[in-house]
Amino acid sequence: MDDNEFQTVGLYDHNVNSYRKVKIAYESVEQRVCIVKATGTGKTYIGLQLAYDNKDKKNNICSSI
């Protein structure tokens, strides 16, 4: 991981793998993805980083409470 690659939101190392998998899915044919992780592991931060990195696209982040 490049030290500056995820500075915008500040992804932790354990979220970088999930971020990259979602990015790969979007670059293929997938239009929707779901990140399933335990509570408090940073799913929202992954979504925010994806939204920031894809400002030119529509993004929808849903979470359950």
For the stretch 41-63, pLDDT in tens is 999 899 889 888 888 887 777 77
At residue 9, the pLDDT reads: 83
Q: Widest CA span of the chain, in angstroms?
A: 33
End-to-end CA distance of the chain: 31
Q: Is 32 exposed, middle or buried (0-12, 13-18, 19+ CB in 10 A)?
A: exposed
Q: What's the pTM?
A: 0.77
Left, alpha or beta for 47 (phi > 0: left; psi -120 to 50: alpha)? alpha
Number of other residues whose CB lies within 10 A of the CB of residue 54: 12
For the stretch 7-20, pLDDT in tens is 778 889 889 999 99
